[in-house]
């Protein structure tokens, strides 16, 4: 079964009855979902004790996807990132054993530059062998050279919705990382049951599907609906 998750682990009141009543927010969330996307690492570095506390709150089969810091993606814009990426990996090392994919979300203004991308992804791969997914938002990445480069470094393309670059039809195999931001109002709009079912059909057992429409509380509701789509028929 794919990992169905939300960005962070907020449990809105409207769906609170579908989670355990006792425990921390994360432990209650982890009783239902098998993964979560940590977005806060994009903005700041956490103390090791914070990650250790999170690790102790979840089951052994739970996984954390972690967003790469904006200092690497938006400030440095992938240039000379070796030291920064090394520091990032050291900071999240307490998650070892429960670490899922690393999410590299690039700014909309970052165009595809082959030499820059080669240097950046080589630096990542020299230090990290686990899954990495990249969410690009400039149309210049919709080219064969970019696809070939990502394949060379075994970096997964993110299928995002709305899709600024790669559409579902661009994936010959099931996308390994899907981020559903909500539409028409990004971060707010809820998905219909029909839309959730359509995305569910795109997933494989190795896929992640993250609902990022958290601003209105729709993410948890939508993620629960997708979980139900994979539930065995009775």
Q: What CATH number is attached to the domain comprising 113?
A: 3.20.20.410
CA 59 to chain CA centroid, nearest Å: 19
**The pLDDT of residue 233:** 53
Range of the domain at 155: 3-230
Query: For residue range 182-234, what is the model confidence (pLDDT) as tens digits?
Result: 999 999 999 999 999 999 999 999 999 999 999 999 999 999 999 999 876 54
Give the count of domains, the chain: 1
Long-range pairs of 11-18 with CB within 8 A, sequence gap ≥ 24: 11/220, 12/217, 12/220, 12/221, 14/217, 14/221, 15/220, 15/221, 15/224, 18/224
Query: For residue range 129-188, what is the model confidence (pLDDT) as tens digits?
Result: 999 999 999 999 999 999 999 999 999 999 999 999 999 999 999 999 999 999 999 999
DSSP at 46: P
Contact (Cβ atoms closer than 8 angstroms) between residue 88 and residue 118: no
Query: For residue range 6-27, what is the model confidence (pLDDT) as tens digits?
Result: 999 999 999 999 999 999 999 9
**The pLDDT of residue 4:** 98
What's this model's pTM, rounded to 2 decimal places?
0.96
Tell me the C-alpha distance between 195 and 207, whole Å.
17
Tell me the C-alpha distance between 178 and 183, whole Å.
15
DSSP three-state, residue 227? helix
Give me the mean pLDDT over the 27-32 stretch. Answer: 98
**The pLDDT of residue 24:** 96
Supply angle C-alpha 44, 213, 9, rounded to 5.
55
Query: For residue range 60-110, what is the model confidence (pLDDT) as tens digits?
Result: 999 999 999 999 999 999 999 999 999 999 999 999 999 999 999 999 999
């Amino acid at each position: 079964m794919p990992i169905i998750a939300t960005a962070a682990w907020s449990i809105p009141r409207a769906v609170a009855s579908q989670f355990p009543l006792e425990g921390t927010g994360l432990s209650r969330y982890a009783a239902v979902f098998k993964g979560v996307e940590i977005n806060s690492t994009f903005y700041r570095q956490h103390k090791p004790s914070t990650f250790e506390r999170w690790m102790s709150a979840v089951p052994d089969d739970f996984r954390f996807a972690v967003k790469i810091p904006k200092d690497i993606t938006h400030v440095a814009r992938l240039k000379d990132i070796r030291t920064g990426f090394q520091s990032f990996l050291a900071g999240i090392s307490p998650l070892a054993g429960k670490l899922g994919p690393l999410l590299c979300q690039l700014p909309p203004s970052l165009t595809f530059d082959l030499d820059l991308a080669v240097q950046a992804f080589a630096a990542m791969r020299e230090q990290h062998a686990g899954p990495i997914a990249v969410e690009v938002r400039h149309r210049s990445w919709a080219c064969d050279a970019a696809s070939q480069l990502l394949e060379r470094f075994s970096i997964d393309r993110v299928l995002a919705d709305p899709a600024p670059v790669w559409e579902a039809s661009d994936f010959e195999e099931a996308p390994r990382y899907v981020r559903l931001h909500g539409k028409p109002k990004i971060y707010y709009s809820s998905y219909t049951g029909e839309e959730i079912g359509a995305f569910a059909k795109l997933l494989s057992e190795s896929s992640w599907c993250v609902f990022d429409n958290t601003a209105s509380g729709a993410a948890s509701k939508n993620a629960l609906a997708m979980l139900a789509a994979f539930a065995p028929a009775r």
